[in-house]
Amino acid sequence: MEKDITIYDIARELDLSPTTISRALNDHPAVNKKTKQRISDAAAQMGYRSNLFASNLRTQRTNTIGVIVPRLNSPFMSSVLAGMEKVANDAGYNLIISQSLETLQKEVANAKTMFDSRVDGLLVSLSYETENIDHFLNIINKGIPVIFYDRVAEHRNCTSIVIDNLQAAYQATSHLIEQGCTNIVNITGNLKRNVYSDRLKGYKYALIDHNLAYNDANVIINNLSEEAGEEAAKKILKMDPLPDGIFVSNDTCAVSCIKTLKQAGVSVPRDIAVVGFNNDAISRVVEPNLTTINYPGQEMGEVAVRVLLLQMGGNTERIPSNTINLRSELIIRDSSLRSKISTKKKAILI
């Protein structure tokens, strides 16, 4: 196995001092451009690799940001990561990305890996199983900034970046009620997580404010996967009476649910109106197009990294509070527009 080329090897090859080689490779102004180019060409030809590890030990920085996500195969998380990557790269940072696979055990292992890798900051969206954040305390106590996004936990030294999930769910459920729905099913995720518990609250408050009874049997809790959407639809088809509205906490599950309902002969939205959550690309492909909540994933990723960079630089004065709320909005499409069908029927009768 060939040994690594060092600055001393380049110095011998070019008959220059190791100090000159080091300065040139670090773009020091004391070395003229012609010499820098000569040294750079020789380094490339000889296969020199800069020793970032040694450099990082001197500066106490690794120029890396750790990211822990629940699942990588999520359209929402993909958009969040795209936003993070953009801002981090522009600032000269690399991301180390790991997934918890929705388990506490893997999340604990990920946190240790990030700590051992000496990341300069950490961005976390919690797993389904996480009940406390003890496994992040080593990092927090070391003064390394930790930001929670989407699925968050409260800690006085950590910033959380979220949307108002309660208000978004209230808006989605109210829209179904305004379309004439009176028997609405809520398909949601693990209630240990703020996003799903808050969306359930919003659903309940909308029912109360519109004088509709809440029924535990109308709440289906699953992992919101494509398979879970199919299973939820099969469960809904057995309900008597059949519900006339469904609010689902993500688009993947909602689209799968619609497909299964349609295969069973249910008309969407005439028989059952459906609203999803996230505004993933799939919401615009399914027929009918899915009414959904626009959750600004890329913006969330960009904001998370910008806030983290401020914290890593010790500049916390420009951070408004421990919780940053991003805006979301209801995007109305055909999957929920029962009133549109009623209008058409009246026109035909006239």
Give the domain ranges of the chain. 7-50, 63-163+297-327, 165-295+331-349
Domain 7-50 shares a fold with domain 165-295+331-349 = no
How much is the pLDDT for 295? 93
Distance (Å, rounded) from C-alpha 91 to C-alpha 188? 37
How much is the pLDDT for 54? 54
φ, ψ at 203 (rounded to 5°)? -60, -45
Distance (Å, rounded) from C-alpha 181 to C-alpha 27? 67
DSSP-assigned letters across all residues of 288-328: SPPBEEE--HHHHHHHHHHHHHHHHTT--TT---SEEEEP-
Query: Of 48-62, 154-168, 221-235, where does mean pLDDT reach its minimum?
Result: 48-62
More confident residue, 175 or 53: 175
State the average pLDDT over residues 53-68: 72
How much is the pLDDT for 44? 85
| Alpha-carbon separation of residue 179 from 82, 172, 335 (angstroms) | 36, 11, 11
How much is the pLDDT for 56? 55
Q: Is the pLDDT assigned to residue 49 strictly greater than 90?
A: no
Question: Topology of domain 7-50, per CATH?
Answer: 434 Repressor (Amino-terminal Domain) (1.10.260)
> What digits encode the pLDDT tens for the residues 20-33?
988 888 888 889 99
DSSP-assigned letters across all residues of 195-208: HHHHHHHHHHHHHH
How much is the pLDDT for 55? 54
Judge contact between 20 and 36, C-beta under 8 A. Answer: no
φ, ψ at 185 (rounded to 5°)? -90, 140
The pLDDT-based confidence of 195 (bands split at 50, 70, 90) is very high
How much is the pLDDT for 52? 52
| pTM for the model | 0.79
How much is the pLDDT for 30? 87
CATH 3.30.110.40 describes domain 165-295+331-349: no
How much is the pLDDT for 233? 98
> What digits encode the pLDDT tens for the residues 202-251?
999 999 999 999 999 999 999 999 999 999 999 999 999 999 999 999 99
Distance (Å, rounded) from C-alpha 299 to C-alpha 293? 15
Q: Which of 63, 59, 62, 11 is nearest to 38 (CA)?
A: 11
How much is the pLDDT for 158? 92
> What digits encode the pLDDT tens for the residues 256-293?
999 999 999 999 999 999 999 999 999 999 999 999 99
| Alpha-carbon separation of residue 202 from 61, 177, 227, 257, 344 (angstroms) | 43, 13, 25, 21, 31
Q: Is the pLDDT assigned to residue 182 strictly greater than 80?
A: yes
The pLDDT-based confidence of 350 (bands split at 50, 70, 90) is very low
> What digits encode the pLDDT tens for the residues 330-340?
999 999 998 76
How much is the pLDDT for 3? 72
Distance (Å, rounded) from C-alpha 117 to C-alpha 108? 14
Q: Is the pLDDT assigned to residue 325 strictly greater than 80?
A: yes
For the domain spanning 63-163+297-327, the CATH number is: 3.40.50.2300
